[in-house]
Amino acid sequence: MFKDSKRPLHLDIGSARGGFLLDLAPLQPDWNHVGVEIRHPTVLSAERDRQQLKLDNLRFLFCNVNVSLEGWLTGLARDQLQKVSIQFPDPWFKRRHQKRRVLQPSLLLALAAALQPGRELFIQSDVLAVIEPMVMLIERSNCFERPRDAAQTWLNANPLPVPTERERYVLDQGLPAYRMLYQRNAHDLTDLKSLEVMWHEFNNPIEKNMSTADA
C-alpha cells in the first residue's frame, strides 16, 4: 500500500471526504496514514484527491469497520499500528440503529490487540450522547488509560495538528467539541462476551429497568 511500509501507521476510522488526512499526511511524512470509510463514493473521491496530491504515505479504503477491519488488523506487523483516531462518528440516535455505531466491543478489542502499550487512541465528537458511551466502553475494557498528564475531563485542544471538517464547523459555531486521548496499557484483553453483556446493558436501560420490574 505504501512506498515505505516500515513507517508507523495511523488509522483514521470514518475518514469521510478525507480532508483531515489530506491535510495531515504532508505534515507527517514519516508516518503512513489510512482512512477507512463505509461510503464508497466518498472513498473514491478522497482517493482521487490523494492521487492528485501524489501523497505516497496515505491511502483511503472502503470498509465496514465492524465487518472487515478486525481481520485486517490481525495481518499487521507487530507495533505497525501506533495511532487510531475516531472523530465525529455518525450518531445513530435511534435505539434500533445503535448497533451501527462505529465503536463496538469486538472492534475495540481488535484495536487493543493491534496496539502495543503506550500507543494512542483518540476520540472526539460534538454529541455527548455519542462520546459518553465510547468513553464508558473504552474504560470498562481495562485495555486503555488516560495519559498521566491528561486532565480528568475533556481535552481543551486537539492533540493532532489539524482539525477535521466537522471540527472546524463546530468550533466556528461556538459549540463544544468533546475529546479524549487514551494510551494502550499492558493489561490482557478483556473477555469479549462479558464486555458485550455490559455494553448491551448500558445501551438498553429501558429493557434493563423492565427486567428489574418483572423480577
For residues 39-68, one letter each, b for 16 or more C-beta atoms within 10 angstroms of the residue's C-beta and e for the rest, the string is: eeebbeebbebbeeeebebbbbbebebbee
Place of cell 487512541: 121
In the set 30, 90, 149, 188, the catalytic residue is: 90
Active site residue 90: yes
Angstrom CA distances, 208 to 6, 83, 200, 201, stand at 48, 35, 9, 6
Return the H-helix or E-strand segment holding 59: strand 58-62
Q: Dihedrals φ, ψ of 198, to 5°? A: -60, -45
Give the residue numbers marked as catalytic: 90
